[in-house]
Structure 1
Amino acid sequence: MPVEWSHPSPQETRHWQLSLWPYRSLLRKDFVLFIGATAALIALPLVAAIGTAVLWGLLPFFALMLSGLWYALHISYRRGEILEELTVDDTTAHLTRHNPAGNIQEWEANRYWISVHIRDDGPVEKYLTLRGNGREVELGAFLTPEERQALHGELMQALSGGR
């Protein structure tokens, strides 16, 4: 699960931070390998056309396909650059969401008045929200329903002081 809990020290359970991010099946370091392998596999049939005019007819389509694939993967990475950080100390809980466009959304509430909810009637299955300070904010919309369900239990335990 793309979730990380952090504590200043193992004895300290009142201060903690939760970081959430979307799952990545293709890492950035593997991106170059994937594009290179795809180019090699697509170029393999072009070897038969070397030295003919057919090669020059097929080459623009090969380049267009490869650049389209690169662009689509690049856009996918940009849209997935989301980071949600929930920081809890003695009195407050602060949620910060870093969006792909670069803007930052923030929410803060009294730690002891926060309630964690999970619903089936939200925009996603097992819709996880935090309520406090007169607002309700979603958490981990990019996670799978099972991950949101597990996170719900962990957040309930953590906010009650057991984490």
Structure 2
Amino acid sequence: MPYEWSPEPPHDTPRWQLSLWPYRSLLRKDFVLFIGGTAALVSLPLLTLLGQAALWGILPFCGLMIAGVWYALHVSYRGGEVLEELTVDEARAHLTRHNPKGDVQEWEANRYWVTVHLHPKGGPVENYITLRGGDREVEIGAFLDVEERLALYDDLKRALRS
């Protein structure tokens, strides 16, 4: 699961933290291996053109293709750099969201009044989860997949009740 409790549930302490992040199927080291493998595979047919003038006509386009794949994966990777941290103690619940562009969004409410809501339909995504407390309602874990959001909903309800 792309989220982590600290300490692990069930929470024996009045203070706990939940960290959520999007799932990454391509790690940084795999990113380098993928680009290297792609460059090697594209270079194989070019071996037949060694010593010919046509190689210099095709080579810039191959370089542009590799650069384009690298750029597209880099942009995709940067877009998924989201971190949400929910910290709960005896009195307060505090949610911090670190967005890909570096801006930070924060929400805080009295722990006693915080409730978790699941919106199976009608939200931006299926099984949309929100936290309501005070005068605001905020989303949490919208980047998780459907099953992960259901598991998170159950975990959050259990954790906030204790």
- Which TM-score bucket, shorter chain as reference? over 0.9
Q: 1:140 to 1:36 in 2, by over 3 A?
A: same
Q: Structure 2: which 5+ runs fail to align?
A: none
Q: Distance in 1 between matches of 2:149 and 2:13?
A: 22
CA offset digits 1:93-145 (Å, max 9, x no partner): 00000000100000000111001001121010001000001100000110001
Q: Distance in 2 between matches of 1:38 and 1:123?
A: 36
User: 1:1-163, aligned counterparts within 5 Å?
Assistant: 1-7=1-7, 12-119=12-119, 120-161=121-162
Q: Distance in 1 between matches of 2:31 and 2:7?
A: 33
Per the TM alignment, residue 12 of structure 1 is displaced from its structure 2 partner at its CA by 3.1
CA offset digits 1:30-70 (Å, max 9, x no partner): 11111111100010000000110110111011000000001
Q: CA RMSD in A?
A: 1.5
Q: Does structure 1 conserve the Cα–Cα contact (< 8 Å) formed by 2:11 and 2:159?
A: no
Per the TM alignment, residue 11 of structure 1 is displaced from its structure 2 partner at its CA by 7.1
| Structure 2 residue identity aligned to 1:16 | W
Q: Structure 1: which 5+ runs fail to align?
A: none
Q: If the length of structure 2 is used for normalisation, what is the TM-score? A: 0.96
Residue identity over aligned pairs, in percent, reads 68
Report the count of equivalent residues: 161
Q: Does structure 1 conserve the Cα–Cα contact (< 8 Å) formed by 2:91 and 2:111?
A: yes
| Structure 1 residue identity aligned to 2:123 | G
Q: Does structure 1 conserve the Cα–Cα contact (< 8 Å) formed by 2:131 and 2:138?
A: yes
